[in-house]
Copies of this chain bind each other. A is one copy, B any other.
Amino acid sequence: MPQLVGNALIGQSGGPTCVINQSLVGIVETALEGSAIRNVYGAIHGIAGVLDERLIDLGRESKEVLEAIAVTPCAALRSVRKKPTREECAKALRVFKAHDIRYFFYIGGNDTAETAFLLNELAVAEGYEMRLFHVPKTIDNDLRVTDHCPGYGSAARFVASAFLGDNQDNRSLPGIKVDVVMGRNAGWLTAASALARTHPGDGPHLIYLPERVFSADAFVADVDRVYKEHGRCLIAVSEGIHGADGKSVIETKEVDSHGNAQLSGSGALGDWLAGEIKQKLGGKLRVRADTFGYLQRSFAGVWSDVDAAEAREVGRTAVRVALKGDRPHGSIVILRDPGARYRARYDVTELKNVAKETRPMEQHFLRGDNDVSPEFLEYVRPLVGQLPVSARLSDLPVARKL
């Protein structure tokens, strides 16, 4: 196959992750290796920057800056939440042509894959030869086809570390604690809280996921039962929990003094659940709620090494596949080799297989109404890496004298 010679453009889209810049740097360093790609550009704020022709030259960044960018959280190119219209896709293609963009790498989630799909359809229709690749990232881990998503392992590590600490906090000063975790459509990130269980009786004692129907009455009864057994209760709740009608709890309740129903960037769901517990189990109970919020996707300095390495590699793989040329477009996926020892491989799937739809947790990863299965722990553990220490004293009793 003859080389496709021209320039490459990279964009970042959707919510940030701690390792999304690893993918960016993986693309840049690999694109600069060969001779087919002349210049490596970046679009500021993803497709919005393409439409505004706000492009920067990534090929002139030093190795030092790129390595510093790789370990910096959030989108170094800046991000966007935008699905382009038909006209905007046409405009984007004009920008591609004007700058001789023959390679476009778009780093993001399922919405980002859809934008890449739309752009590719138009490029094919107009007979403009280019390679379009979606490079996956999302802390939600809800992309289809891939075993898991770059960004998830690091966010899961953050959540597990938060629960490790909060379990010790809850044991230090017992009470009922609700922690709300991100993940609108799927419970993957909330489920990672289970990694915090180290000793008998450790929390989270209850885990509520969007893959199950949520009932406030059952929730309060569960909390009551655990509190009576352990004298404390630590609860992980996904922001995406919903009732039997499929509507998210946060949308159906009057939970905010200003009537806001946004899921993230608000403590409303946690506060509402804490209020339900106090109202039904007694106002004197010590009940607290924390909503982990954006820290889960952007906290500096905490990441999973496996996740960081894989995020880099999906970027590199996207360039290699694009340069090879037998597949002019697609989305990079991670496959897991069978066997006890964790090993990842990289492959490509069609853009349409990843665009739009999300992937909930499979049933065998759940246990009962408010827990995860041992299979899930096996699945998630290698993605997160060795967790911080969470020790307990032996509590060797001293004989009473009085």
Contact of A16 among B80, B172, B275, B388 (CB under 8 A): B172
Find out whether the CB atom of A299 lies under 8 angstroms from the CB atom of B165. yes
Q: Which of A54-62, A121-129, A140-148 contacts B (4 or more CB under 8 A)?
A: A54-62
A161 near B299 with CB under 8 A, answer yes
Q: Would B72 and A398 count as touching, CB distance under 8 A?
A: no
Contacts of A271 in B (CB 8 A): 256-258, 260, 266-268, 271
> What is the 8 Å Cβ interface bit string for chain A, positions 264-275, against chain B (1 contact, 0 not)?
111110111011
Min distance, Cβ A150 to any Cβ of chain B, angstroms: 16
Closest to A178 in B: B265
- Closest CB pairs A-B (n = 6): A267-B267, A265-B288, A301-B388, A290-B293, A258-B275, A165-B298
Interface readout for A91-110 with B: 1 if CB under 8 Å, 0 if not?
00011001100000000000
A22 to B142, CA, bound (A): 40
- Contact mask for chain A residues 369-402; partner B; CB cutoff 8 A; 1 contact, 0 none: 0000000000000000001111111111110111
Asked if A306 CB lies within 8 Å of chain B CBs, one says no
A79 to B174, CA, bound (A): 9
CB distance from A14 to the nearest CB of B (A): 9
CB interface residues, A 27-50, toward B, < 8 Å: 39, 41-42, 44
Q: Are A74 and B168 in contact (CB under 8 A)?
A: yes
Instruction: Return the contact of A388 from the options B12, B71, B74, B292 (Cβ within 8 A).
Output: B71
Contact flag A300-B387 (CB < 8 Å), given A257-B256, A267-B266 = yes
Task: Take A260-B271, A271-B267 as given contacts and tell me if A73 and B393 are in contact as well, using a CB distance cutoff of 8 Å.
Answer: no
Chain A positions near chain B (C-beta within 8 angstroms)? 12, 15-16, 18, 39, 41-42, 44, 53, 55-58, 60-61, 65, 68-69, 71-81, 94-95, 98-99, 161-162, 164-166, 168-169, 171-173, 177, 254-258, 260, 262, 264-268, 270-272, 274-275, 278-279, 287-295, 297-302, 387-398, 400-402
Of the candidates B65, B262, B300, B390, which one forms a contact with A161 in the assembled complex, judged by CB atoms under 8 Å apart? B300
Report the separation of the CA atoms of residues A301 and B162 in the bound assembly, to the nearest whole angstrom: 9
Assess the A76–B290 pair: CB atoms within 8 A.
Answer: no
Chain B residue numbers with a CB within 8 Å of A57 are 396-398
How far does the alpha carbon of A99 sit from the alpha carbon of B72 in the complex, in Å? Answer: 54
